[in-house]
């Protein structure tokens, strides 16, 4: 949610930003916000004047009663009574208008960075840099489900029977590899100075509406029937929610946190043949990184965060590239975002394995996250980034480390987490 002062003082800038995000249907929200804001301020002024008058008249009533001027006191009491009725009307009207204002404000997208490329969707994201050479295999690379099944590590048929489409069983060495990657990612971030956290995996609706837009919530979140609880789509949700309506000591900033959680997503819509298997699923696990910092530090942290993900993948010998997300691909709360994509030798192209975002103070405004300074309380900046999210990234892992005989090499950084194992060999023909 952007600062309402920006809408008051520079509405054309806000409208232009909406156009850059190709959300022209929201342009009139700006004028509606301005009108509602003016009405609320007029009502507030009237209410303040009536309360001041009520206090003054109440003092007069006390004085008149002491002087036994009952008739005059009763006249003033009638005025006070009418004022009280009007004050209640004003408060109710203010409350209704404030709810309308908040709904509109939460739908207006955050101002995007000047260096965000302008484009309608992810097809117009811009490649920035590549890391490690993206090599093709000298043999045909099977679909990832076939590789994993031959390793004795994937059972989709049983998962469909127990849970439906979009779920999976990982078993044996593949399940161990999955856990090894998460453990390595956890320790990697701890070594970077981040504090490890395991957060709640369910959050209330006021946290959900604070961390994401209504459109995202509808397309992602699973609601617990009969309760004000949602399953998290990423640990960022509960990690940021932890600081809702708090004032952080300036000396404690930046907060640098890394969290593990299972994640649950509806994944509405059709996504194409390449998203069979374990690419786009309803349940997965993820190691995340979260930073809450001062505004002047957020750009530096943004660059640190995505570089950590690149470093992690390179250490596992997986070629990656970075992409600047275009304006139309940014969620409403995001100031800027960068995707990390891993190389797929089978598809001979890159695919997304992580996303780094700077939300400036938009998320903090929704949730009331501030820090205390000598000059007053200031809204913090929040950032989040995927460290690693198996099992999707297992696709890139097994394809890049696959041998022609169907075995998969384990890079050195993971062997300690795999009991010294250097290779996973097929168990099924």
311-361 per-position pLDDT tens digit: 999 999 999 999 999 999 999 999 999 999 999 999 999 999 999 999 999
CATH code, residues 122-424: 3.30.930.10
What is the domain partition of the chain in residue ranges? 4-107, 122-424
pLDDT at residue 294 tops 80: yes
Q: DSSP assignment of 153-188, as one string?
A: -EEHHHHHHHT-TT--EE-HHHHHHHHHHHHHHHHH
Q: What is the pLDDT of residue 270?
A: 44
Question: 10: number of CA atoms within 13 Å, CB side?
Answer: 8
Q: What is the mean pLDDT of residues 280-307?
A: 95
pLDDT in tens, 209-222: 888 766 677 778 89
pTM (two decimals)? 0.89
pLDDT in tens, 72-88: 888 888 888 888 999 99
pLDDT at residue 398 tops 60: yes
As a whole number of angstroms, the distance between CA 172 and CA 411 comes to 18
Q: What is the mean pLDDT of residues 274-283?
A: 77
According to the CATH classification, is domain 4-107 in 1.10.287.40?
A: yes
pLDDT in tens, 125-172: 999 999 999 999 999 999 999 999 999 999 999 999 999 888 999 999
Q: What is the mean pLDDT of residues 36-52?
A: 93
Backbone angles phi, psi at 140, to 5 degrees: -70, 130
pLDDT at residue 194 tops 90: yes
Tokens representing 408 are 């998969």
Q: What is the DSSP letter of 325?
A: P
């Amino acid at each position: 949610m952007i600062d309402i002062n920006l809408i008051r003082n520079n509405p054309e800038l806000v409208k232009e930003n909406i156009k850059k995000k190709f959300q022209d249907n929201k342009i009139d929200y700006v004028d509606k916000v301005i009108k509602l804001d003016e009405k609320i301020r007029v009502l507030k002024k009237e209410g303040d004047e009536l309360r001041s008058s009520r206090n003054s008249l109440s003092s007069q009533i006390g004085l008149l009663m002491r002087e036994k001027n009952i008739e005059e006191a009763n006249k003033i009491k009638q005025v006070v009574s009418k004022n009280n009725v009007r004050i209640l009307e004003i408060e109710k009207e203010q409350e209704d208008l404030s709810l309308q204002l908040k709904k509109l404000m939460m739908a207006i997208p955050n101002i995007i960075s000047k260096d965000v490329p302008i484009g309608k969707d992810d097809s117009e994201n811009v490649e920035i840099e590549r890391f490690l050479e993206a090599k093709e295999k000298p043999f045909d690379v099977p679909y990832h489900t076939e590789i994993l099944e031959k390793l004795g590590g994937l059972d989709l048929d049983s998962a469909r029977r127990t849970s439906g489409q979009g779920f999976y069983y990982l078993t044996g060495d593949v399940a161990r590899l999955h856990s090894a990657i998460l453990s390595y990612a956890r320790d990697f971030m701890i070594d970077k100075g981040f504090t490890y956290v395991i957060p709640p995996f369910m959050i209330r609706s006021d946290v959900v509406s604070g961390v994401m837009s209504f459109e995202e919530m509808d397309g992602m979140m699973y609601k617990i029937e009969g309760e004000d609880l949602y399953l998290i789509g990423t640990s960022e949700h509960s990690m940021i929610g932890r600081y809702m309506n708090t004032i952080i000591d300036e000396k404690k900033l930046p907060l640098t946190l890394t969290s593990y959680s299972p994640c649950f997503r509806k994944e509405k819509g059709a996504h194409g043949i390449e998203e069979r298997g374990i690419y786009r699923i309803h349940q997965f696990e993820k190691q995340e990184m979260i930073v809450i910092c001062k505004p002047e530090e957020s750009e530096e942290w943004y660059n640190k965060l995505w570089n950590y993900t690149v470093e992690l993948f390179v250490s596992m010998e997986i070629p990656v590239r970075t992409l600047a997300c275009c304006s139309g691909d940014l969620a409403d709360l995001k100031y800027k975002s960068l995707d990390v994509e891993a190389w797929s030798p089978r598809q001979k192209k890159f695919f997304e394995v992580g996303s780094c975002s700077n939300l400036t103070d938009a998320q903090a405004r929704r949730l009331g996250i501030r820090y205390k300074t000598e000059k007053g309380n200031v809204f913090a900046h929040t950032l989040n980034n995927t460290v690693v999210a198996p099992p999707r990234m297992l696709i890139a892992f097994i394809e890049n480390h696959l041998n022609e005989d169907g075995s998969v090499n384990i890079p050195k950084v993971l062997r300690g987490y795999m009991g010294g194992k250097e290779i996973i060999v097929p168990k099924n023909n």
